[in-house]
Structure 1
Amino acid sequence: MTSLIFYGGLRTIGGTIIAVEYKNKRVIFDFGLTYNPAGQVLDGQVMPRPSALTRDYLRLGLIPPIDGVYPQDSLPSHSSILSAQEYEGETAVLISHLHLDHMGAMGLIDPSIPVYMTKESQHLYESLHTIGEGAPGERTYQTCIEEQPFSIGEIIVTPLPVDHDIVGACAFHIETPEGSILYSGDVRLHGAHPDRIQSFVNQSKGKGFDVLIMEGTTLRNEEQLSVEDLTADASNPEDLLTEEKRVPEQIAKELNAVKGIGVFNIYHRNIERIQNMILAGKEASRTVVLEIETAEIASNHLEEANFHIYESEEIQEEKDNLPLWKRRLLEKYPTVSVQEINKNPEAYLLQNSYPNALELLDVNVESGIYIHSNGVPLGSFDPAYDNLHRLLDLIGLEKVQVDCGGHAIPQHLQYLVDELDPKILIPLHSFHPERLFPPNGKQFLPKYGSVYKLLNGDIFEE
């Protein structure tokens, strides 16, 4: 029979790892790390050991002890975990998108196991690998084509594109001879591509499925989220940015209200946000200045990328010894130094990511503004968030928030569940998955490590 095993992500944000098995074949999705900055052992001061990553991650509980996934030489001595070389079945891993909580540990998977992602995701991963933000470990990755089924034995997988705040995001329809499962990945209705979500719903209903595994990031307890706020509704509240394409208008409005420099903090895996910062700069008649890592992503993924590169002290001092990709960018795009910016700060919109925050000590920030736009640290749950505010207070830079989140708000989650109308709903990727119910089917809250069987449209523990 068809088996499901849940290894991660049931009551956490990310870290979702689920196995679907049929006979001696299985697919696993995703393979990320739980996002919990306040409880992170590897906090940036305790540094990972590159030669012992798998052993350390297993010991720290960052990755689960799954048989047949990790290389023999990466496991602890006398480990009870079967290595990939000892495992008798066939495994494939599916990556829904390239946020760390869905792919952060995929480099630890044995190179003999194929790891699939969409073509757009693979293109983005090549850029991330170039700038040193690839997954730890050395291996290659396989491409799957959106809406085109492929097989792992008798398991048929179909990637279905969805809208999230990263390119290449998809859901997976997974079918075995005994039933089918729909895994949402991460989704939103209020982004730039709501048509993708409607297509996802239509295609999923056309294919049919027995189990819906649905993300629930924005769900809260009853004190924080009333029953009324969980009523299915596809419309957008007035205080919510309707689409990503409205971000430039909002940013330009903030910039036009100040006389000093504009500084922005984004997550540079959000390519649409990079594009919209460039558009905002154009609308506000400001030169957009990107950090060189973000410039590499923009150069590879945007058709029109009108920006300058921030010429940091490192670039100035090491120009002849920089990696080839940095030298190539410096030849292609104009640069600007902090000295030039300070001559006329109101003419610039400058990127500054949190690890580079001390660069702002050299910038003339008088009468300026700091635009926090889904960059890290994301919120008060991250200890670094208070530190960011301390720094901005010290240098006297006003902070404003301009957001367009990547996850469906609660009423949109319920709308999607109602539209999909699953026989069995498994909500996860949430601190409060129990808040989401199907309109006619049953809610099922699994436990870690238990083996569940799927047969005749029902699921039960072995």
Structure 2
Amino acid sequence: MATVSFWGGVGITGSSKVLIEDRGWRILLDVGLDRPQTELYHHPVRPRQGMELHDRLKVGDAPWIPRLFQGDVVLGTGLEGGSDGKTAVFISHSHVDHIGLVGWIDPRIPIYAAPETVKIREAITTLGRAAQADSSFELIFAEKVMLEGQEPQIRPMNEADPLEFGPFVVTRYRVDHDVPGASGYIVETSEGRVAYTGDIRLHGRHPEWVTTFAKQAAQSDVFVIEGTTLGRKSRDTEDPVTEEQVDKNFTNIVEHTRGLILISLRPRNIERIESFTRIAKTYGRKILWSKEFATFLGAYGLEVQRIDYSAEQLQTIRRSPEKYVIQMGPKDIPWLMDLPVGPDSLFIHSDGDPKLTSQAGQSLRVWLQRYHVGLRTLGTRGHGTPEAIHQIVEWVTPKVVYPVHTHSPELLQPDPPTMRVVPEYARRYPIR
């Protein structure tokens, strides 16, 4: 019997892991870091270095899937490691809750992803090596997790090019999210079709990718969709701005700001970074990147200019602050003391670190007030609205839909004939 089971993303936002089994063969869709179930590992408490997966397994903060992880890593946990030669992993995108455990997978198990996802993972490896050579590099939490274990060998998978693995035929399609390479998968089994969205939205730059995927997934026996925004009541979740509007707002800011612009971005939101770079250049500004961002973006293949805060560079910026945009992370904030900032300057928070609701975010606000720098938020969500989620389900009209990656799966209410099932963790469900 062909079955589907869920080893993450059940009743929580993030960490989707979908296991499809058919006649002894297995396909695992995503293998990210679990959202903590036990509340044991929170900063500054972390799993022991080199034993991160072992420690998470011991307390129930990693998926108990046998014959998936390296045998020596799971020794002492009671979980069977190694490879059975009948398992493959497919990654939907490069966010830590979807790819974060990939370094622990047994190297004999093939791993597939979009070419862009492979590039991002390789760029993070380059960043990690730079951090090992220079202790002043400050990696964010997601990057530290993605560097755990061994360097994975991820195979690039072309779009709409079916791949046979045992009884399965797996096809990857582009979908829209806030990171390059975001993918949905369609898996043909001996008993029916399973479609999985990964993370998805309709208000991004490429809604047509989502409609194409939905068309290909139409009438699937099983449809697994992320539901991050279900039950979340805010303008941000119910009526988000589009990425096009984000670009327009950034253009307006650059055009009308007379002084230095500071900005916080997510490093893997490559399309926004490229767009902001083009807009800044149009108005005679260069974006200067921290060494962490510059290393990562350079390894990804972008031409970027780094800020090193040398006396010479600071003097150049002071002479013409209207010619620059400076990307800043939390550790860079004290440089406000040496930069030419004031009422004519602006700090743009574009979904980067620190989160404004965090303690570090509150500290940022105090710094900006101290130096009379205005603050603007400018961004949009990477996840579809509740309306968009229901629209995608309607387009696909599957026999059964399983909402994952959400605290409120019961709020997905599809029209007949589709039946919604709230999944239980690790329970096997028949595909037909």
TM category, shorter: 0.7 to 0.9
User: What is the CA-CA distance between 1:445 and the residue it aligns to?
Assistant: 0.6
Q: For the residues of structure 1 that align with 2:98 and 2:421, how far apart are their CA atoms?
A: 22
Match of 1:105 among 76, 101, 106: 101
Alignment match, 2:229: 218
1:2 equivalenced with 2:2 (yes/no):
yes
Match of 2:326 among 342, 345, 350: 350
Structure 2 residue identity aligned to 1:218: T
Alignment match, 2:308: 311
1:406 equivalenced with 2:386 (yes/no):
no
Q: For the residues of structure 2 that align with 1:168 and 1:27, how far apart are their CA atoms?
A: 19
Alignment match, 1:82: 80
Task: State which drifts further: 150-159 or 252-261.
Answer: 252-261
Mapping of 1:23-422 within 5 angstroms? 23-34=23-34, 41-43=41-43, 45-77=44-76, 79-84=77-82, 88=84, 90-132=86-128, 133=143, 134-138=146-150, 139-205=152-218, 208-220=219-231, 224=233, 240-242=240-242, 244-299=243-298, 301=300, 305=303, 307-312=304-309, 337-367=313-343, 368-378=345-355, 380=357, 382-422=358-398
Structure 1 pair 265–425 and aligned structure 2 pair: CA distance change class (3 A): same
Structure 1 pair 359–12 and aligned structure 2 pair: CA distance change class (3 A): farther
Structure 1 pair 115–124 and aligned structure 2 pair: CA distance change class (3 A): same
Structure 1 residue identity aligned to 2:421: F
TM-score normalised to structure 2 length: 0.87
TM-score normalised to structure 1 length: 0.82
Structure 1 residue identity aligned to 2:78: S
Q: For the residues of structure 2 that align with 1:361 and 1:432, how far apart are their CA atoms?
A: 45
Structure 1: state its 5+ residue gaps.
231-236, 317-335, 456-462
Structure 1 residue identity aligned to 2:221: D
Q: For the residues of structure 1 that align with 2:36 and 2:360, how far apart are their CA atoms?
A: 12
Q: For the residues of structure 2 that align with 1:36 and 1:344, how far apart are their CA atoms?
A: 47
Q: For the residues of structure 2 that align with 1:181 and 1:272, how far apart are their CA atoms?
A: 30
Q: Could you list the per-position Cα deviations for residues 56-103 of structure 1 after superposition, in whole angstroms to 9, with x for gaps in the alignment?
A: 2223433122111122211242x3211125xx4621111000011111
Give the 3-state SS of the residue equivalent to 1:214 in structure 2. strand
Structure 1 pair 217–377 and aligned structure 2 pair: CA distance change class (3 A): farther
Give the 3-state SS of the residue equivalent to 1:337 in structure 2. helix
Q: Does the Cα contact within 8 Å between 2:192 and 2:221 map onto a contact in 1?
A: yes
Structure 1 pair 424–377 and aligned structure 2 pair: CA distance change class (3 A): farther
User: What is the CA-CA distance between 1:379 and the residue it aligns to?
Assistant: 5.3
Q: For the residues of structure 1 that align with 2:208 and 2:413, how far apart are their CA atoms?
A: 24
Task: State which drifts further: 419-428 or 353-362.
Answer: 353-362
Q: For the residues of structure 1 that align with 2:217 and 2:356, how far apart are their CA atoms?
A: 34
Give the 3-state SS of the residue equivalent to 1:131 in structure 2. helix
RMSD: 2.6
Structure 1 pair 42–113 and aligned structure 2 pair: CA distance change class (3 A): farther
Alignment match, 1:327: none
User: What is the CA-CA distance between 1:25 and the residue it aligns to?
Assistant: 0.7
User: What is the CA-CA distance between 1:42 and the residue it aligns to?
Assistant: 4.2
Structure 2 residue identity aligned to 1:211: V
Give the 3-state SS of the residue equivalent to 2:223 in structure 1. strand
Task: State which drifts further: 432-441 or 19-28.
Answer: 432-441
Q: Could you list the per-position Cα deviations for residues 176-213 of structure 1 after superposition, in whole angstroms to 9, with x for gaps in the alignment?
A: 111111100011111111221121122222xx411110
Q: Does the Cα contact within 8 Å between 2:50 and 2:149 map onto a contact in 1?
A: no
Q: For the residues of structure 2 that align with 1:366 and 1:379, how far apart are their CA atoms?
A: 20
Structure 2: state its 5+ residue gaps.
129-142
Structure 1 pair 53–36 and aligned structure 2 pair: CA distance change class (3 A): closer
Task: State which drifts further: 340-349 or 104-113.
Answer: 340-349
Structure 1 pair 116–262 and aligned structure 2 pair: CA distance change class (3 A): same
Give the 3-state SS of the residue equivalent to 1:175 in structure 2. strand
Q: Does the Cα contact within 8 Å between 1:263 and 1:370 map onto a contact in 2?
A: yes
User: What is the CA-CA distance between 1:384 and the residue it aligns to?
Assistant: 3.8
Give the 3-state SS of the residue equivalent to 1:120 in structure 2. helix
Q: Could you list the per-position Cα deviations for residues 203-227 of structure 1 after superposition, in whole angstroms to 9, with x for gaps in the alignment?
A: 222xx41111001111125xx379x
Alignment match, 2:406: 430
Alignment match, 2:136: none
Structure 1 pair 151–383 and aligned structure 2 pair: CA distance change class (3 A): farther
Task: State which drifts further: 424-433 or 283-292.
Answer: 283-292
Alignment match, 2:135: none
Q: Aligned residues: percent identity? A: 30
Q: For the residues of structure 2 that align with 1:266 and 1:247, how far apart are their CA atoms?
A: 13
1:451 equivalenced with 2:428 (yes/no):
yes
User: What is the CA-CA distance between 1:247 and the residue it aligns to?
Assistant: 3.1
Q: Does the Cα contact within 8 Å between 2:85 and 2:108 map onto a contact in 1?
A: no
Q: For the residues of structure 1 that align with 2:46 and 2:367, how far apart are their CA atoms?
A: 24
User: What is the CA-CA distance between 1:386 and the residue it aligns to?
Assistant: 3.1
User: What is the CA-CA distance between 1:11 and the residue it aligns to?
Assistant: 1.8
User: What is the CA-CA distance between 1:35 and the residue it aligns to?
Assistant: 5.4
User: What is the CA-CA distance between 1:168 and the residue it aligns to?
Assistant: 0.9
Give the 3-state SS of the residue equivalent to 1:50 in structure 2. coil
Structure 1 pair 361–430 and aligned structure 2 pair: CA distance change class (3 A): farther
Alignment match, 2:11: 11
Q: For the residues of structure 1 that align with 2:40 and 2:322, how far apart are their CA atoms?
A: 39
Q: Does the Cα contact within 8 Å between 2:2 and 2:189 map onto a contact in 1?
A: yes
Q: For the residues of structure 2 that align with 1:12 and 1:377, how far apart are their CA atoms?
A: 23
Structure 1 pair 117–40 and aligned structure 2 pair: CA distance change class (3 A): farther
Structure 2 residue identity aligned to 1:70: F
Q: For the residues of structure 2 that align with 1:145 and 1:109, how far apart are their CA atoms?
A: 22
Structure 1 pair 378–197 and aligned structure 2 pair: CA distance change class (3 A): farther
Q: Could you list the per-position Cα deviations for residues 343-369 of structure 1 after superposition, in whole angstroms to 9, with x for gaps in the alignment?
A: 332321111123433333432221211
Q: For the residues of structure 2 that align with 1:15 and 1:384, how far apart are their CA atoms?
A: 25
Q: Could you list the per-position Cα deviations for residues 297-326 of structure 1 after superposition, in whole angstroms to 9, with x for gaps in the alignment?
A: 4445567x4x5321246xx9xxxxxxxxxx
Structure 1 residue identity aligned to 2:407: F
Q: Does the Cα contact within 8 Å between 1:289 and 1:351 map onto a contact in 2?
A: yes
